Structure 1
Amino acid sequence: MSVLPVTLLASVIMLLCHCAQAQDAARVIDLECDHLPPMCSQGGEQPGGMMIEIGSEAIRRAGFIPNAKIRPWKRAMQEVTSSASALMIYFARTPEREALFNWIAVTNTTDFGFITRDGSPALDSVAQATAAGLIGIRAGSSVRTWLLRQGVQSEQLVESPLEDMAKMLKAGRVASFFGAATTFKPIYQRQNGVPPVVGARMYSDQNWIASGRMFPREDAARIAEAINRMRQDGFINQVISKYFP
């Protein structure tokens, strides 16, 4: 008579485990990024881009459902720091941000340099750029910290979204733009029909996937492991090669 209750109990336990796993797997995690094509972009009904593909795959491999959102950096950072179910992608690690986020894993690296309008000479040093005039940077970008450390005065820096900055550079309202050619060059070329002039690489920085402090540590560990597997099996390199053949 005792066999049936034991069997029934085992079945109930298995059912509860399956339900818990299904509930866990169904958890939706927001993936936040600014509009930075081709890295992150709001095209059509669903956000896309190289970093959205990488981040979404990591979330899926960790057993969750990705929900990509494209919004300005400052708003995205506010959302992530106050959420237990949101991540930042294509995110630079800076001293100012260090304590606010849980830095889960490095996804790739980005090169930064000075960019000038078409037909102008290249700027290959900070000294050349400061002598040339105002330097434009993307609003909310971590490059501001780097430039200030190189001795550039804050009064010489002009912040604006990339779309506006490309217009300002073409119009001569700034002498150069400092940032990533991978995101700025396509916007400038689309607006003007010709590419800007890209100077020498000034430095490279790691891009992170990060969460706020409320994000569960065990979930962060699963995503970190997923990123590691994606690096080992070549998925990340395949996605990068698709966008930058």
Structure 2
Amino acid sequence: MAADTSRELRSGPRHVAIIMDGNGRWAQARGRPRLFGHHAGAKRVKENVRACPELGVKYLTIFGFSTENWKRTQSEVAGLMSLFRQYIRKEARALKAEGVRVRFIGDRVRLDEKLVALMDELELMTADNDTTHLTIALNYGGRDEVARATKRLARDVAAGHLDPDDIDEETLPKYLDTYVLPDPDLVIRTSGEARVSNFLLWQSAYSEYEFIDTLWPDFTPEEFRRVVQSFCQRDRRFGAASV
């Protein structure tokens, strides 16, 4: 049975991106505050990161906090920022020991200085790891990312470092937050919502999508495996006709 599973996963996704939705609803269904759901979701992140090597997933990108999430209540935003700091402090050594390289994407300008310092420290601490590449999107929005990338590109044009005639669809990705990462093969959204929510808009042009009803705190490594196996059955043509 194990050998059969290995063959199933051989053509699985190398890079999976996840919109981790449903923490608040999961908590409210249990009569608990929304932050209770976010803490449960953080534990699920830990389990699914550890499952990646067995599933053949080299790169995992998760949507931690969007540019739109600042619209939530002040108490929830403050609680999330505290949770991010706790997660980094608590998990840093384990992530390093388990070979996980951590990167953060998004605009750091609006984030708390202490949080940014912890982010920088964790990136440096895990820089030599290569078992799993975990990318965490904090204060991230796809449109914001493209706008920031375009500004950097425009500055290079103005400085004479880049000829406008040389700009093509291979140029802009070099200015994106994800420039060192491959595009995601599979994007998963939990909680039953079927929208992309401004996540990796450029990078996911040819990604496969899986919208599932499971709320994020209930998204176990076993369900992660099921979604990966489902991906393996898909015929990815990238615009070509099927044979």
TM-score, structure 2 length as denominator? 0.24
Mark the structure with the bigger radius of gyration. 1
